[in-house]
Structure 1
């Protein structure tokens, strides 16, 4: 099968600081680096490194040509990444000494995808393929509608969280992945618990506590694997990419969650985003698989 990822592509700029800045505070960065990022790109790389076939649907500007080349180097299919006359998305990421971060995003080309671009990619899909989406691009509703009409499975990472975006996709999502904060925001916005959102499978990530899988009225908790966190940036995206890759490869939900937790535990021990996502062999070696 194939994973079709309608996702953002960003140029990530990392600033290492002693602590996250308070309102009005000016800090001198102790380090700076730049790399490939964006929730979409991170998830595509994670899925590819988990040995699943993945095709990225996205847009970049002329300044981001290297991001498409980098994705291709990492095993991602790139014919549906379009270069347009808008700068590539940009993320300024501030990481403190404990590995926590704050992120400021410029959407750029990620918000300029057309229905024609998305439709041309999904026209190549086969029933049973996954369509994966986040909230860092436009076009999610069209993609979900098209996916449903073609018999594709829809996986949705509800980040950055927008209640209206979730509402627009009601009835079209098979799997939703969100963190504990986003889950609380969803429950507050809708007045209903996560288990009553009309979505078959919901995964709530809990950081160092692992995650929980909610299926209808049933809930199963999975513990995280021990890790020495130095940078949590991209860990959730790594989890999601590995989760959908595992499902695409037929592992079943429990097996896919376990694989995703292992990948996330390695990811938080590294500085960076897409460029440092672990591959399947690293996980097999680390956990003796």
Structure 2
């Protein structure tokens, strides 16, 4: 089972001809909104990858529909608390090349208490996964508790802060970063991914695929061809499917391959959690 301590956001989407420059006022061609947040995206991806997922998080009163949407996608929601803070939200602009720029408001995501996290993890079993990102508070407490309970800790180091990663390094079993984040971590610590002393590190490389660094060395994986229209949520989809594969008992190589397939489908769609492909769509698309 996967326990995901993760953000829940209301995503506002704006389609624009190009990403705005400093001081520029730009008219959007279209507007839409939906469920988002790195945490929610990863929970949906893992659930659609046939894993059992329980989300740990917080929302405001106006965001109750986000909890209902997660339930519709197969995510367990008893540990999503409703508090007085507003639900987190993100304003996302996407250009004609599928690139994006995002302004994020954390809101309820950074008001989690140790009680909310602790009550959830008391239901976990040894061998379960704790998945986290850097869009909530309580990460160190959750990782320490999970480690003491025999859970495997997966950390998706975004939005990147070297200090946040440093606090968790001795508790992480699998670290997932993109290429920019890996470079920032190396600059901050003086250590390349293979020198971090972690059991597994996966660095995503966008259209170039990813690399997996373990005690056995480094292996690269090519991305699957895709005509990108929107890269928003592709990394979250990759991570959710990666952990889902591992939780279902697939090896690391098979889980990475599944995650790359899911990410390839995701970049061909506009949106975030609401358009993450399910396992059948992946199987049909790739003829599995």
Q: Which runs of 5+ in 2 are unaligned?
A: none
Secondary structure class of the residue paired with 1:33 = strand
CA distance in 1, matches of 2:242, 2:19: 30
Q: Deviation per CA, 1:99-155, whole angstroms, max 9, x where unpaired?
A: 000111000000000001000000000000000000000000000000010000000
Q: Contact between 1:239 and 1:260, CA under 8 Å: does it hold in 2?
A: yes
Which residue is equivalent to 1:5?
4
CA distance in 2, matches of 1:135, 1:267: 22
Which residue is equivalent to 1:64?
63
Which residue is equivalent to 2:156?
157
Cα deviation, residue 194, structure 1: 1.2
CA distance in 1, matches of 2:199, 2:271: 33
Secondary structure class of the residue paired with 2:169 = coil
Q: CA RMSD in A?
A: 0.6
Which residue is equivalent to 2:271?
272
Q: Which runs of 5+ in 1 are unaligned?
A: none
CA distance in 2, matches of 1:130, 1:211: 22
CA distance in 2, matches of 1:38, 1:107: 9
Which residue is equivalent to 1:131?
130
Q: Contact between 1:196 and 1:216, CA under 8 Å: does it hold in 2?
A: no
**Residues 240-279 of structure 1 correspond to what in structure 2 (within 5 A)?**
240-279=239-278
CA distance in 2, matches of 1:172, 1:185: 20
Q: Deviation per CA, 1:234-284, whole angstroms, max 9, x where unpaired?
A: 000000000000000011000000000000000000000000000000001
Which residue is equivalent to 2:208?
209
CA distance in 2, matches of 1:267, 1:168: 32
Cα deviation, residue 192, structure 1: 1.1
CA distance in 2, matches of 1:133, 1:193: 22
Normalising by structure 2, what TM-score? 0.99
Which residue is equivalent to 1:108?
107
**Residues 146-185 of structure 1 correspond to what in structure 2 (within 5 A)?**
146-185=145-184
Secondary structure class of the residue paired with 1:231 = coil
Which residue is equivalent to 2:26?
27
Cα deviation, residue 217, structure 1: 6.3
Which residue is equivalent to 1:80?
79
Cα deviation, residue 209, structure 1: 0.4
Secondary structure class of the residue paired with 1:117 = helix
Which residue is equivalent to 2:282?
283
Q: Contact between 1:195 and 1:217, CA under 8 Å: does it hold in 2?
A: no
Which residue is equivalent to 1:226?
225
CA distance in 2, matches of 1:3, 1:48: 9
Runs of 4+ deviating beyond 6 Å: none
CA distance in 1, matches of 2:258, 2:107: 33
Q: Deviation per CA, 1:175-214, whole angstroms, max 9, x where unpaired?
A: 0000000000000000111111121100000000000001
Cα deviation, residue 216, structure 1: 3.2
CA distance in 2, matches of 1:202, 1:91: 28
